[in-house]
Every structure is written in structure tokens, then in C-alpha cells.
Amino acid sequence: MNIHVIEQLNNFVKLPDNKWESGGWSLDENKAQKLIGGVIYFHKRRIEPSFFGGSITDYRIDQSPEYQGKIVFTFQYNVNCRNVNTDRYGWSKKMKIISNE
């Protein structure tokens, strides 16, 4: 599965080895688990191409007071995840999950 998300605040944390974190996502943990190995694409708006993204390598549940219980994805940056478009259908709030099945 792949996921497209709206990220307008550039809420990213750089990790070693070209990995990044992006968090604060309201998503069921079961879905987050299924997204490992998939690709995450970040968009400013639904109708704009992605500006960032990569392969999802892990997730965790945020314990900070501000985002407690929200999903934080770890991903390996991939330049091929830039300028990717998706159609306007299938969005739910700020995300769109695409099944590879």
C-alpha cells in the first residue's frame, strides 16, 4: 500500500542515513503496519504534485502530549517520489491510501 498525505507545515525530522520522520497522522495502527514497505508521498494540496517522499521503513506511536496516539512514519527519501500526481478521488481528510492489490 502507498499513501499520499497533505503536509503544509514541513513537519519533518531528519535522521541518519537519509531517513526522515513525519508524524501527527491520525491513522489506525493496523493500517500503519500494512504501509511498511510502501511509499509515502507528501503534497501541499491535493491537486499539486508531491514535493517529497520515500519508502516507509517503520512507524511508531507518538507519546508526546501534543500528538499522543498519532502515527509517526519513518521513511527513506527517494527523489522519484517528487512530482508525483494522484487524482482527486479517494482522499479522506488529509490522506489517500492506495492498495497495491
Query: What pLDDT digit, counting tens, does each position of 42-71 carry?
Result: 999 999 999 999 999 999 999 999 899 999
Measured from the Cβ of residue 21, the count of other Cβ atoms closer than 10 Å reads 17
Q: Which residues contact 67 (CB under 8 A, 6 or more apart)?
A: 23, 24
**CATH number of the domain encompassing residue 57:** 2.40.240
Which grid coordinates belong to 21?
520522520
Q: Is residue 27 part of a domain?
A: yes
The answer to whether residue 61 sits within a structural domain is yes
pTM: 0.94
pLDDT in tens, 2-16: 999 999 999 999 999
Residue-number span of the structural domain to which 8 is assigned: 2-88
Domain count, the chain: 1
- Would 20 be classed as within a structural domain? yes
d(CA 8, CA 30): 25
Strand arrangement of the beta sheet that strand 12-14 belongs to: 12-14, 19-25, 71-77, 52-61, 39-43, 2-6, 95-98
